[in-house]
């Protein structure tokens, strides 16, 4: 007998060799039907795996995060089986689950096209209906190599040969199909309920451009059809909301061949940018920040001193001035350090919070450039806080609250990750451990949940990253708080303590928007170009019905501009329906139609974005309401 502890803490004796599925059946028939996989002593296993030792067992269902990965990995095997049925000479490479679904790489004798995906889907549906059990077996290295050599699967043989000598080699069989795989998998193919093949792409074997180009088939699957439908809807919606498309249509920004990765902001885009900066300055002024501006180009020795030369040089641009080497700044922090050093500081002055809308340049490969989301020149809403060691928790808490205030303003929810020491880093392990614990303590004190992101800290310190979620449930890493003991040491920063001696301050690097460019791209897609009134480039458009109403329309526009409303008049000789449709295409929040009745009563007929005609308002009342809406953001 073996002793098994379950999730509720109960410990029960079972016969040696019992499976997780058999235990699930004893608990409840529903749990057995919903069991996807299991975790035994911390290791993911199939529900059909025999248990031969004492341990802790968890039955995983669709409610557990790992379950979807198992589900999608099994779907990838079903796709591979379907491909082998339709294309027996295709060679199998690898087929993992990924964040949004799964893929499998194949070496087809002749390349297939997107039109073939429907036939593969049909064959997958047949395999699912046939409900094959997925049966695991373990083989010796020699047995596994022979099996896949006999099947003509050269890529599988190469994978086996590269495994460590002591590795367990396992295969999974479903019907006639066998694949090399560590598992775990669903109990049977019939458990798959909703899937879709998405697209084809090229992929080098093992990601090596010197190796053969294979074809990668992407797909996705979900436990419920409703979840799949929602995912597919959001994919289509994401295409409609693509900020690059909307940027052109709404006249916000362009990226031209003359400057790949260097965006041009157009007049309407500058309005949005300026409004965001205005809001940013207001919240930072309230929070006690002092704004600075530092040069874009600084001498090489500064970057050597900061560590960027050793840790970040491949991402930097360089130039020579007066026979000396200079670099275009990829980050704003060295400039802020120099600003701090311009004065002798007392402990009474700290914390000092220096904020900067700083333009930085980073060398990105052309293949990763993407609209405003990945560029080579961008403005970070940076701030650097210099503080006493005993002020760390309070200052980190203050930044967390500021970030929360800003994200809430735009309707974003978010989750938090703590990123720890990377492989290439400055400073001692002790410094890193201390800084990491301080970040965790600040989050714990706020009662915030967070994940640990091992090895993803900045080269000078650990960080808290804020991943915001947009209206399509996509996440974007924007805000960050980095705690730094290294730069104050490297730059010999000091303050005069209460004892009259020099001491070393601690430093925080932080951003809220992340970069102005990327945040505008995210907002464009989040709102689908229908920006809230305070951000909208044109807040109201007046549409006179005929030429005799032009004077009233223009008079009204002047009144609105005097109180800061961004308004224009569409006085073209076009039909009313055409003008309204065009205003809707430009996503203008309010369209004000004026005719004889409106002129006579000093009123406007209001069409509100998303609602249509909401009736007549006195012009003065409408202006007052709109001014209040803008002021309150």
Cα(534)–Cα(538) distance, integer angstroms: 10
Cα(347)–Cα(33) distance, integer angstroms: 65
Which CATH number among 3.30.930.10, 3.30.70.580, 3.40.50.2300, 1.10.260.40 corresponds to the domain 248-294+329-526?
Answer: 3.30.930.10
Sign of CA dihedral 309, 313, 316, 318: positive
Please state, as a whole number, how many other Cβ atoms lie within 10 Å of the Cβ of residue 569.
18
For 345-358, b where at least 16 C-beta lie within 10 A, e where not — what string?
Answer: beeeebbbbbbbbb
Q: Decide: helix, strand or coil at residue 600.
A: helix
- At residue 521, φ and ψ (nearest 5 deg) are -60, -45
Residues serving a catalytic function are: 333, 362, 380, 382, 384, 463, 509
CATH class of this structure's domain 2-61:
alpha beta
Q: How many CA atoms lie within 13 A of 50 on its CB side?
A: 8
The per-residue pLDDT for 443 is: 93
Cα(117)–Cα(501) distance, integer angstroms: 73
The per-residue pLDDT for 95 is: 94
Q: Decide: helix, strand or coil at residue 263.
A: coil
Q: Which residues pair with 380 in a beta bridge?
A: 358
Cα(389)–Cα(495) distance, integer angstroms: 12
Q: What residue spans of 484-610 are helical by DSSP H?
A: 486-490, 516-526, 550-562, 576-585, 596-601
Q: Are 506 and 387 in contact (CB under 8 A)?
A: yes
Q: How far is CA 399 from CA 442, 467, 476, in A?
A: 11, 15, 19
Please state, as a whole number, how many other Cβ atoms lie within 10 Å of the Cβ of residue 449.
8
Q: What value, to the nearest 5°, has the Cα angle with vertex 23 and ends 18 and 27?
A: 160
Fold of 69-228: 3.30.980
Closest CA to 242 of 529, 530, 581: 529
The per-residue pLDDT for 178 is: 95
Cα(544)–Cα(539) distance, integer angstroms: 17
Q: Decide: helix, strand or coil at residue 613.
A: strand
User: Is the preceding omega at residue 33 within 30 degrees of 0, hence cis?
Assistant: no
DSSP secondary structure letters along 321-377: ETTEEEEE-S-SHHHHHHHHTTS--BTTT--EEEEEEEEEE----GGG-BTTTB-SE
Cα(351)–Cα(206) distance, integer angstroms: 50
Looking at the domain that runs over 540-631, which CATH code has it been given?
Answer: 3.40.50.800
Q: Which residues pair with 507 in a beta bridge?
A: 386, 484
How far is CA 167 from its chain centroid?
Answer: 35
Cα(198)–Cα(221) distance, integer angstroms: 10
Cα(175)–Cα(98) distance, integer angstroms: 25
Report, in this order, helix, strand and coil percent for the chain, each rounded to 5.
Answer: 40, 30, 35
Token duo for residue 474: 């996509």
Q: Are 472 and 525 in contact (CB under 8 A)?
A: yes
Please state, as a whole number, how many other Cβ atoms lie within 10 Å of the Cβ of residue 33.
12
Cα(360)–Cα(294) distance, integer angstroms: 11
Token duo for residue 103: 């893929």
Q: Where are the domains of the chain?
A: 2-61, 69-228, 248-294+329-526, 540-631
Q: How many CA atoms lie within 13 A of 22 on its CB side?
A: 11
- Which residues have a Cβ under 8 Å from the Cβ of 44 and sit 6 or more positions away? 37, 38, 60, 66, 70, 183, 184
Q: What residue spans of 87-138 are helical by DSSP H?
A: 117-130
The per-residue pLDDT for 308 is: 85
**Contacts by residues 550-557 (CB-CB < 8 Å, ≥ 24 positions apart):** 552/594, 552/598, 552/599, 553/594, 556/592, 556/594, 556/604, 556/619
Q: What residue spans of 341-465 are helical by DSSP H?
A: 392-409, 429-445
Strands 506-511 and 475-484: antiparallel
Q: Are 545 and 593 in contact (CB under 8 A)?
A: yes
Strands 352-361 and 290-291: parallel
Task: Kindly list the averaged pLDDT for each block of 10 residues, start to end, along the chain of length 633.
Answer: 82 86 87 89 89 89 91 96 96 93 95 94 97 93 91 92 88 95 94 95 89 95 95 90 93 92 95 96 95 94 86 87 91 92 94 96 88 92 95 95 94 91 83 89 91 85 90 87 90 93 94 94 93 96 91 91 94 88 93 89 91 89 92 90
150: enclosing H helix or E strand = helix 141-150
The per-residue pLDDT for 456 is: 82
Structure letter (DSSP) for residue 137: E
Token duo for residue 313: 């040089």
């Amino acid at each position: 007998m073996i002793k098994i502890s379950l999730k509720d803490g109960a410990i029960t004796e079972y016969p040696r060799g019992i499976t997780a599925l058999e235990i699930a059946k004893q608990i409840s028939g529903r749990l057995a039907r919903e069991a996807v996989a299991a975790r035994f002593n911390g290791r993911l296993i199939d529900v059909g795996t025999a248990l031969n030792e004492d341990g802790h067992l968890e039955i995983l269902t669709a409610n557990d995060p790992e379950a979807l990965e198992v589900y999608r990995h099994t779907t990838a095997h079903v796709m591979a089986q379907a491909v082998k049925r339709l294309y027996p000479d295709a060679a199998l490479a690898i087929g993992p689950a990924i964040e949004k679904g799964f893929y499998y790489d194949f070496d087809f004798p002749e390349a297939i096209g997107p039109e073939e995906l429907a036939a593969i889907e049909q064959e997958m549906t047949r395999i699912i209906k046939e409900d094959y059990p997925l049966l695991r077996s373990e083989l010796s290295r020699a047995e596994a190599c022979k099996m896949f050599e006999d099947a003509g699967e050269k890529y599988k043989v190469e994978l086996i040969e590269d495994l460590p000598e002591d590795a367990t080699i396992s295969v999974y069989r479903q019907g006639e199909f066998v694949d090399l795989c560590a598992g775990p998998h669903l109990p049977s193919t019939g458990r798959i309920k909703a899937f879709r093949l998405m697209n084809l792409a090229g992929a080098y074997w093992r990601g090596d451009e010197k190796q053969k180009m294979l074809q990668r088939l992407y797909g996705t699957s979900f436990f419920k059809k409703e979840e799949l439908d929602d995912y597919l809807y959001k994919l289509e919606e994401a295409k409609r909301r693509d900020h690059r498309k909307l940027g052109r249509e709404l006249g916000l920004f362009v990226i031209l061949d003359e400057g790949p990765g260097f965006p041009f902001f157009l007049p309407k885009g500058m309005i949005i940018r300026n409004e965001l900066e205005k809001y940013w300055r207001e919240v930072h002024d309230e929070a006690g920040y002092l704004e600075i501006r530092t040069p874009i180009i600084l001498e090489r020795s500064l970057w050597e001193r900061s560590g960027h030369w050793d840790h970040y040089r491949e991402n930097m641009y360089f130039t020579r001035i007066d026979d000396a080497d200079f670099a275009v700044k990829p980050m704003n922090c060295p400039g802020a350090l120099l600003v701090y050093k311009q004065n002798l500081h007392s402990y009474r002055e700290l914390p000092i919070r220096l904020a900067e809308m700083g333009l930085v340049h980073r060398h990105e490969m052309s293949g990763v450039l993407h609209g405003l989301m990945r560029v080579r020149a961008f403005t970070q809403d940076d701030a650097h806080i210099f503080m006493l060691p005993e002020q760390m928790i309070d200052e980190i808490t203050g930044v967390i609250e500021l970030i929360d205030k800003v994200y809430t303003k735009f309707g974003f929810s978010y989750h938090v990750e703590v990123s720890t020491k990377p492989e290439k880093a400055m400073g001692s392990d002790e410094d890193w451990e201390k800084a990491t614990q301080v970040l965790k303590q600040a989050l714990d004190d706020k009662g915030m949940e967070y994940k640990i992101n091992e090895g993803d800290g900045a080269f000078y310190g650990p960080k808290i990253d804020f991943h915001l979620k947009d209206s399509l449930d996509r996440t974007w890493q924007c805000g960050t708080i980095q705690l730094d003991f290294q730069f104050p040491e490297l730059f010999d920063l000091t303050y005069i303590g209460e004892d009259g001696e020099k001491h070393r301050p601690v430093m925080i690097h932080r951003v809220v928007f992340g970069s102005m460019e990327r945040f505008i791209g995210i907002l464009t897609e989040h709102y689908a170009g229908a920006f809230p009134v305070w951000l909208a480039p044109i807040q109201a458009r007046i549409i006179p019905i005929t030429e005799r109403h032009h004077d009233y329309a223009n008079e009204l526009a002047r009144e609105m501009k005097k109180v800061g409303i961004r308004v224009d008049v569409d006085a073209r000789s076009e039909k009313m329906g055409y003008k309204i449709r065009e205003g809707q295409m430009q996503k203008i929040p309010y369209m004000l139609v004026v005719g004889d009745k409106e002129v006579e009563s000093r009123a406007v007929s209001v069409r509100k974005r998303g609602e249509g005609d909401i009736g007549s308002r006195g012009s003065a009342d409408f202006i007052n309401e709109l001014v209040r809406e803008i002021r309150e953001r």
